[in-house]
Amino acid sequence: MSMCKFCKLFLVMLVATASLFAEVNTHDVLWDEYIALRDAMYNNTYSAEGLLPLYDTAVASAKANFSEDTLLVALSRCEYIMGRAYSYEENKDAAGARYDAGDKYAEQALDIRESATAHLMRGENISQNCSVKPVSYALSHGTKISGLAKKVLKLDKNYGAAMYLQTAQHIYAPAPFHNHKKGIKEMQEILNDSSVRLEKDDVFNLTSAIGYGHLQREEKAEAKKWLQKALEVYPGNKYVQSLLKDL
């Protein structure tokens, strides 16, 4: 084989390997239309129904640009965001239907190929579903969340969203299962670790959860400080605004 042919073959293999790597690392798939949907939801820019045009645009863009498990993970993200929007409005039925769809997409992605974000999206959709579904759902599915977070971190040890998912139970679990002091400590460690990869919404989730934890401990000055940090990320978030108002 001539050197020229060898070089061509090497380049083909390199491109194929890079393409496969991009498909596996689905956490990198944060496309512009999704980011617009995500940020509008966290900022409460629109009602849940008002977000639907942004949702439709994000889904259409995902279908045009992604395929196979990467597409399914992207669709799971979109359903999760819409679920959060309906959760903010306490429309539990609509939120639950979105989380169910998001979980199903993530399961289908895992049937094709294992990836950190597919496990993450299962965990996030199930976690939020526990807050809108009957207690029976939480009892049968809630125990899966920690295991899914561990699977994510086994594949990607610096995945901040999975770290948050793993420790959020200490903050938001009902009594007597919560441990606010432990949750606050672990979340601050996540924020202070420069090796941890955090997206904008991860920072918001962490700071608002720390604020909520301090609030539950009646540490009002610390709660106010952390809730204000959360509003620096998403100033329009009504949930955090309501917590500050309670202070």
Q: Which residues does residue 197 pair with via DSSP β-bridges, in sequence order?
A: 159
For residue 46, which phi and psi values (nearest 5 degrees)? -130, 165
The per-residue pLDDT for range 98-142, each reduced to its tens digit, is 999 999 999 999 999 999 999 999 999 999 999 999 999 998 998
Q: What does the longest C-alpha to C-alpha distance in the chain come to?
A: 75
Residue 18 in this model has a pLDDT that exceeds 90: no
For residue 40, which phi and psi values (nearest 5 degrees)? -65, -35
Rg (CA), the chain: 20
Residue 7 in this model has a pLDDT that exceeds 70: no
Structure tokens at 1: 């084989």
Distance, in Å, from the CA atom of 170 to the CA atom of 201, rounded to the nearest integer, reads 19
At 57, the amino acid letter reads T
- Residue entry with tokens 């895992």: 110
The per-residue pLDDT for range 33-79, each reduced to its tens digit, is 999 999 999 999 999 999 999 999 999 999 999 999 999 999 999 99
